[in-house]
Homo-oligomer: A and B are copies of this chain.
Amino acid sequence: MLYALVANVTSKTAANGIYLDVDLQDSTGSTVGKVWQATEEQLQIIGGFIGKIVNVTGVKVTYRDQMQLKISNITEADSQAIEMFVESAPVAKNELQESIERYILLVEDPTMQRITRKLISKYSEQFYTHPAASKNHHEYMSGLAYHTDSMLKLADAMATLYPSLNRSYLYAGIILHDLGKVIELSGPVSPTYTTVGKLIGHINIIVSEIHVVAHELGLNSEAENESLMILEHLVLSHHGKYEYGSPKLPMMREAEIIHYIDNIDARMMMLDRALDATSPGDFTPRIFALENRQFYKPKSEN
């Protein structure tokens, strides 16, 4: 029995009927699984596994020098198995959930509390399993929640050092800032951009959602409800610069800080990963997302 991602399924015709070629991938590479004399129903079911993690049993055979798996059984993996299969955040999902929910409680602004709670509740499953990006940083399972949680902790520390910062704004803004990625990215495994993700983008996706939720909660419009307006502004401006696709530049103290915290956490994540793979006294390769710079790992570090 093994777990694998079904990358593709193709049906082919042989002398004795249709068979399926199932392209199975895991971290060790790619294997061809064969389902001989496949029924129409099998084609439907197994075709529906594309892009999902499955639990496969079968017999390994060698054909023309290549290993094949003659599949005897194939079912969708349960979520526990999926979590074991894919690279996950260094902190367990339930710990992340507990920590983030504690921060939601600390959002004292009632409008922000209600909206944040409702949206996290609506997208709870995806929020705690999605990656934060399709590449570069936090692109692993629960990466989104892990990134969000790290940002919350940094915001917490900064609000202590700079008491003029409003914790409600920081926490609610951070929790929602990237939530649109649950729609922008295809899923926890091998994330790619969805069509909606490309044409609308996670920022606008979530701002529209905030607007609808406010509507559903019977809140006033942005022009009458300052908290609603501010919450949307914090999300809209978190990319910080127009050239990074930010529809608005930060025009509030907390918007500026959320943009900085977002950057710092993503950069630390990329730097740690690159430097972990580098020998002391050497430089990392050029890192495109860090302005194409190389980074030095001191000899004394280990």
Interface positions of A (Cβ within 8 A of B): 150, 153-154, 157-158, 160-162, 164, 166, 183, 194-196, 198-201, 203-205, 207-212, 215, 222-223, 226-227, 229-230, 232-233, 236, 242-253, 256-257, 260, 263-264, 267-268, 271-272, 275, 281, 283, 290-291, 293-296, 298-301
A152 to B199, CA, bound (A): 23
B263 near A296 with CB under 8 A, answer no
Closest CB of chain B to A172's CB: distance in Å? 13
B253 near A204 with CB under 8 A, answer no
B271 near A267 with CB under 8 A, answer no
A65 to B277, CA, bound (A): 36
A222 near B200 with CB under 8 A, answer yes
With A232-B204, A249-B293 known as contacts, the answer to whether A267 contacts B275 (CB < 8 A) is no
Q: Across the interface, which residues of B come within 8 angstroms of A204, CB to CB?
A: 204, 207, 232, 236, 247-248
Q: Across the interface, which residues of B come within 8 angstroms of A248, CB to CB?
A: 199-201, 204, 245
B223 near A194 with CB under 8 A, answer yes
With A161-B153, A199-B230, A203-B247 known as contacts, the answer to whether A271 contacts B256 (CB < 8 A) is yes
Identity of the chain B residue whose Cβ is nearest the Cβ of A193 in the assembled complex: B283
Closest CB of chain B to A291's CB: distance in Å? 7
A257 near B249 with CB under 8 A, answer no
With A281-B195, A296-B252 known as contacts, the answer to whether A154 contacts B150 (CB < 8 A) is no
B207 near A222 with CB under 8 A, answer no
Which of B164, B208, B230 touches A211 (beta carbons < 8 Å)?
B208
A294 to B247, CA, bound (A): 16
Which of B157, B166, B243, B275 touches A243 (beta carbons < 8 Å)?
B243
A256 to B275, CA, bound (A): 13
What are the 6 closest A-B residue pairs judged by CB atoms, nearest first? A208-B211, A157-B157, A247-B247, A199-B233, A242-B242, A253-B271
B253 near A195 with CB under 8 A, answer no
Q: Across the interface, which residues of B come within 8 angstroms of A301, CB to CB?
A: 166
Closest CB of chain B to A178's CB: distance in Å? 15
B226 near A299 with CB under 8 A, answer yes
If A153-B161, A205-B222, A249-B293 are given as contacts, then 16 extra A-B residue pairs at C-beta distance below 8 Å, sorted by A number, are A158-B264, A166-B301, A195-B296, A198-B251, A198-B294, A199-B233, A199-B236, A212-B212, A226-B300, A230-B298, A242-B243, A243-B243, A247-B247, A251-B293, A252-B295, A253-B275
B253 near A229 with CB under 8 A, answer no
A211 to B261, CA, bound (A): 30
Q: Across the interface, which residues of B come within 8 angstroms of A205, CB to CB?
A: 222
Closest CB of chain B to A129's CB: distance in Å? 18
Q: Across the interface, which residues of B come within 8 angstroms of A233, CB to CB?
A: 199-200, 296
B257 near A260 with CB under 8 A, answer no
A203 to B256, CA, bound (A): 21
Q: Across the interface, which residues of B come within 8 angstroms of A201, CB to CB?
A: 236, 247-248
